[in-house]
Amino acid sequence: MIIEGHGLKRYYQRGVETVKALDGVDIAIKQGEMVSILGPSGSGKTTLINLLSCLDAPTEGTLFVAGKSVAGLSEDQLVEVRRGTLGFVFQQFHLLPTLTVTENVELPLLFLMRKPNPARTGEVLAMVGLGDRAGHRPNELSGGQMQRVAIARALIMDSKILVADEPTGNLDRASGEAIFQLFRKLVKEKGLTIIITTHNTTFGYEADRVITLEDGKIIKEENSWCARRDSNS
Protein backbone atom coordinates (compact mmCIF):
# COMPACT_ATOMS: atom_id res chain seq x y z
CA MET A 1 0.00 0.00 0.00
CA ILE A 2 1.38 3.41 -0.92
CA ILE A 3 -1.32 5.19 1.12
CA GLU A 4 -3.04 3.77 4.19
CA GLY A 5 -5.30 5.59 6.63
CA HIS A 6 -7.35 4.41 9.61
CA GLY A 7 -9.99 6.33 11.52
CA LEU A 8 -9.25 9.58 9.67
CA LYS A 9 -11.10 12.57 11.05
CA ARG A 10 -10.83 16.25 10.18
CA TYR A 11 -12.84 18.59 12.37
CA TYR A 12 -13.08 22.38 12.12
CA GLN A 13 -14.46 24.91 14.54
CA ARG A 14 -16.98 27.36 13.09
CA GLY A 15 -17.89 29.57 16.01
CA VAL A 16 -19.30 27.24 18.65
CA GLU A 17 -20.08 24.58 16.05
CA THR A 18 -17.77 21.64 15.29
CA VAL A 19 -17.82 20.82 11.59
CA LYS A 20 -17.03 17.16 10.94
CA ALA A 21 -15.64 17.45 7.41
CA LEU A 22 -14.25 13.92 7.62
CA ASP A 23 -15.61 11.59 10.26
CA GLY A 24 -13.80 8.28 10.62
CA VAL A 25 -12.53 7.11 7.23
CA ASP A 26 -10.49 3.98 6.55
CA ILE A 27 -8.72 3.95 3.19
CA ALA A 28 -5.96 2.00 1.47
CA ILE A 29 -4.54 2.71 -1.99
CA LYS A 30 -2.16 0.37 -3.75
CA GLN A 31 0.88 1.47 -5.69
CA GLY A 32 0.03 1.59 -9.39
CA GLU A 33 -3.70 2.04 -8.77
CA MET A 34 -6.00 4.73 -10.16
CA VAL A 35 -8.70 5.76 -7.67
CA SER A 36 -11.57 8.20 -8.14
CA ILE A 37 -13.18 9.97 -5.20
CA LEU A 38 -16.79 10.95 -5.88
CA GLY A 39 -19.37 12.83 -3.87
CA PRO A 40 -21.50 15.99 -3.86
CA SER A 41 -20.28 19.33 -2.58
CA GLY A 42 -19.80 19.12 1.18
CA SER A 43 -19.32 15.34 1.15
CA GLY A 44 -15.72 15.56 2.35
CA LYS A 45 -13.88 14.60 -0.82
CA THR A 46 -11.77 17.78 -0.93
CA THR A 47 -10.87 17.30 2.74
CA LEU A 48 -9.95 13.66 2.10
CA ILE A 49 -7.78 14.41 -0.91
CA ASN A 50 -6.05 17.20 1.03
CA LEU A 51 -5.15 14.69 3.74
CA LEU A 52 -4.01 12.02 1.29
CA SER A 53 -1.84 14.55 -0.55
CA CYS A 54 -0.32 15.95 2.68
CA LEU A 55 -1.76 19.41 2.13
CA ASP A 56 -3.41 19.01 5.54
CA ALA A 57 -3.06 16.69 8.53
CA PRO A 58 -5.90 14.73 10.20
CA THR A 59 -7.39 15.80 13.52
CA GLU A 60 -7.45 12.16 14.54
CA GLY A 61 -6.40 8.85 13.01
CA THR A 62 -3.30 7.36 11.46
CA LEU A 63 -2.11 8.05 7.92
CA PHE A 64 0.90 6.66 6.08
CA VAL A 65 1.98 8.07 2.70
CA ALA A 66 4.77 6.23 0.88
CA GLY A 67 5.68 4.55 4.15
CA LYS A 68 5.84 7.76 6.21
CA SER A 69 3.49 8.58 9.07
CA VAL A 70 2.01 12.04 8.47
CA ALA A 71 -0.55 12.39 11.27
CA GLY A 72 0.32 15.30 13.52
CA LEU A 73 3.12 16.69 11.32
CA SER A 74 3.74 20.42 10.99
CA GLU A 75 3.39 22.20 7.65
CA ASP A 76 7.18 22.20 7.15
CA GLN A 77 7.25 18.46 7.78
CA LEU A 78 4.34 17.89 5.36
CA VAL A 79 6.26 19.82 2.70
CA GLU A 80 9.14 17.39 3.06
CA VAL A 81 6.78 14.42 2.64
CA ARG A 82 5.21 15.97 -0.47
CA ARG A 83 8.53 16.79 -2.10
CA GLY A 84 9.54 14.02 -4.48
CA THR A 85 6.50 11.89 -3.60
CA LEU A 86 3.44 13.82 -4.78
CA GLY A 87 2.63 15.69 -7.98
CA PHE A 88 -0.46 17.86 -8.36
CA VAL A 89 -2.88 18.62 -11.21
CA PHE A 90 -5.74 21.08 -10.65
CA GLN A 91 -8.86 22.26 -12.45
CA GLN A 92 -7.09 25.53 -13.26
CA PHE A 93 -3.97 24.90 -15.33
CA HIS A 94 -1.78 27.49 -13.54
CA LEU A 95 0.53 27.95 -16.52
CA LEU A 96 2.60 31.12 -16.87
CA PRO A 97 1.58 32.75 -20.19
CA THR A 98 5.03 34.21 -20.93
CA LEU A 99 6.80 30.85 -20.64
CA THR A 100 7.01 28.10 -23.24
CA VAL A 101 5.67 24.62 -22.65
CA THR A 102 9.19 23.44 -21.79
CA GLU A 103 9.74 26.31 -19.35
CA ASN A 104 6.38 25.72 -17.63
CA VAL A 105 7.17 22.03 -17.21
CA GLU A 106 10.63 22.74 -15.77
CA LEU A 107 9.43 25.42 -13.36
CA PRO A 108 9.24 23.15 -10.25
CA LEU A 109 12.89 22.19 -10.78
CA LEU A 110 13.93 25.84 -10.84
CA PHE A 111 12.06 26.53 -7.60
CA LEU A 112 14.16 23.80 -5.98
CA MET A 113 17.31 25.14 -7.68
CA ARG A 114 17.76 21.94 -9.67
CA LYS A 115 19.20 22.12 -13.16
CA PRO A 116 16.71 20.87 -15.76
CA ASN A 117 17.74 17.92 -17.90
CA PRO A 118 16.56 18.59 -21.50
CA ALA A 119 16.46 14.87 -22.26
CA ARG A 120 14.22 14.21 -19.25
CA THR A 121 11.95 17.14 -20.17
CA GLY A 122 11.64 15.79 -23.69
CA GLU A 123 10.81 12.35 -22.35
CA VAL A 124 8.05 13.71 -20.11
CA LEU A 125 6.58 15.83 -22.92
CA ALA A 126 6.53 12.80 -25.20
CA MET A 127 4.87 10.83 -22.41
CA VAL A 128 1.90 13.25 -22.40
CA GLY A 129 1.80 13.62 -26.19
CA LEU A 130 3.30 17.11 -26.43
CA GLY A 131 6.69 16.40 -27.95
CA ASP A 132 5.89 18.71 -30.87
CA ARG A 133 4.67 21.59 -28.66
CA ALA A 134 7.80 22.20 -26.57
CA GLY A 135 8.38 25.74 -27.85
CA HIS A 136 4.73 26.86 -27.83
CA ARG A 137 3.20 29.20 -25.27
CA PRO A 138 -0.09 28.53 -23.46
CA ASN A 139 -2.12 30.85 -25.72
CA GLU A 140 -1.17 28.61 -28.65
CA LEU A 141 -2.60 25.50 -27.02
CA SER A 142 -6.06 24.00 -26.57
CA GLY A 143 -7.50 23.44 -23.11
CA GLY A 144 -6.69 19.75 -23.26
CA GLN A 145 -3.11 20.48 -24.28
CA MET A 146 -2.72 22.97 -21.42
CA GLN A 147 -3.87 20.32 -18.95
CA ARG A 148 -1.30 17.94 -20.45
CA VAL A 149 1.38 20.55 -19.76
CA ALA A 150 0.18 20.68 -16.15
CA ILE A 151 0.41 16.87 -15.96
CA ALA A 152 3.94 16.95 -17.42
CA ARG A 153 4.90 19.57 -14.83
CA ALA A 154 3.73 17.20 -12.09
CA LEU A 155 5.64 14.28 -13.64
CA ILE A 156 8.96 16.11 -14.05
CA MET A 157 9.69 15.62 -10.33
CA ASP A 158 9.46 11.81 -10.68
CA SER A 159 6.52 11.75 -8.28
CA LYS A 160 5.19 8.37 -7.16
CA ILE A 161 1.65 9.67 -6.62
CA LEU A 162 -0.28 12.02 -8.91
CA VAL A 163 -3.18 13.88 -7.28
CA ALA A 164 -5.70 15.39 -9.71
CA ASP A 165 -8.43 17.62 -8.26
CA GLU A 166 -11.25 18.06 -10.81
CA PRO A 167 -8.74 17.83 -13.70
CA THR A 168 -11.43 17.94 -16.41
CA GLY A 169 -13.58 20.69 -14.89
CA ASN A 170 -12.53 23.24 -17.54
CA LEU A 171 -12.49 20.84 -20.49
CA ASP A 172 -15.05 19.68 -23.03
CA ARG A 173 -16.09 16.05 -22.98
CA ALA A 174 -13.69 14.86 -25.69
CA SER A 175 -10.70 16.59 -24.06
CA GLY A 176 -11.70 15.26 -20.65
CA GLU A 177 -11.95 11.71 -21.98
CA ALA A 178 -8.47 12.07 -23.52
CA ILE A 179 -7.04 13.19 -20.17
CA PHE A 180 -8.50 10.15 -18.42
CA GLN A 181 -7.11 7.88 -21.13
CA LEU A 182 -3.70 9.48 -20.50
CA PHE A 183 -4.07 8.81 -16.77
CA ARG A 184 -4.82 5.15 -17.44
CA LYS A 185 -1.77 4.93 -19.72
CA LEU A 186 0.47 6.41 -17.01
CA VAL A 187 -0.85 3.89 -14.48
CA LYS A 188 -0.49 0.92 -16.79
CA GLU A 189 2.86 1.76 -18.39
CA LYS A 190 4.64 3.79 -15.69
CA GLY A 191 3.19 2.30 -12.51
CA LEU A 192 2.02 5.65 -11.17
CA THR A 193 -0.59 5.90 -8.43
CA ILE A 194 -3.28 8.41 -9.42
CA ILE A 195 -5.97 9.82 -7.13
CA ILE A 196 -8.72 11.88 -8.74
CA THR A 197 -11.69 13.89 -7.53
CA THR A 198 -14.40 14.56 -10.07
CA HIS A 199 -18.06 15.51 -10.32
CA ASN A 200 -18.25 13.62 -13.63
CA THR A 201 -19.32 10.10 -12.69
CA THR A 202 -18.70 8.80 -16.22
CA PHE A 203 -15.06 9.86 -16.02
CA GLY A 204 -14.88 8.73 -12.41
CA TYR A 205 -15.66 5.16 -13.40
CA GLU A 206 -12.66 5.15 -15.75
CA ALA A 207 -10.57 4.51 -12.63
CA ASP A 208 -9.66 1.11 -11.21
CA ARG A 209 -11.63 1.82 -8.06
CA VAL A 210 -14.31 4.34 -7.11
CA ILE A 211 -14.82 5.66 -3.57
CA THR A 212 -18.02 7.59 -2.86
CA LEU A 213 -18.28 9.95 0.12
CA GLU A 214 -21.28 11.41 1.87
CA ASP A 215 -21.33 13.54 5.04
CA GLY A 216 -17.65 12.88 5.72
CA LYS A 217 -17.93 9.09 5.50
CA ILE A 218 -17.26 6.50 2.81
CA ILE A 219 -20.62 5.06 1.81
CA LYS A 220 -19.49 2.90 -1.11
CA GLU A 221 -16.37 1.40 -2.69
CA GLU A 222 -16.47 -0.24 -6.10
CA ASN A 223 -14.05 -1.84 -8.53
CA SER A 224 -14.78 -0.30 -11.91
CA TRP A 225 -15.30 -1.96 -15.26
CA CYS A 226 -12.00 -0.50 -16.51
CA ALA A 227 -10.04 -2.61 -14.06
CA ARG A 228 -11.87 -5.72 -15.24
CA ARG A 229 -11.36 -4.74 -18.89
CA ASP A 230 -7.61 -4.25 -18.48
CA SER A 231 -7.20 -7.54 -16.60
CA ASN A 232 -8.84 -9.34 -19.53
CA SER A 233 -6.83 -7.55 -22.23
pLDDT for residue 135: 94
Find residue 218's DSSP bridge partners: 213
pLDDT surpasses 80 at 84? no
For the chain, the farthest-separated pair of C-alpha atoms sits apart, in whole angstroms, at 56
Give the pLDDT mean for 50-75: 87
Strands 3-14 and 60-65: antiparallel
pLDDT confidence bin for 153, thresholds 50/70/90: very high
Global pTM?
0.87
Give the pLDDT mean for 164-185: 88
How confident is the model over 121-151, as pLDDT tens digits? 999 999 899 999 999 999 999 999 998 999 9
The full set of domains in the chain, from first to last, is 1-82+193-233 (3.40.50.300)
Strands 60-65 and 34-38: unpaired
Portion of the chain with pLDDT greater than 70, in percent: 96
pLDDT for residue 112: 79
pLDDT surpasses 50 at 228? no
Give the pLDDT mean for 205-229: 83
Amino acid at 57: A
Give the mean pLDDT of the chain. Answer: 88
Portion of the chain with pLDDT greater than 90, in percent: 45
Selected residue with higher pLDDT from 199 and 28 = 28
pLDDT confidence bin for 225, thresholds 50/70/90: low
How confident is the model over 63-74, as pLDDT tens digits? 999 888 887 778
Selection from 38-42, 86-90, 161-165, 168-172 with the highest mean pLDDT? 161-165
Start-to-end CA distance of the chain, whole Å, equals: 24
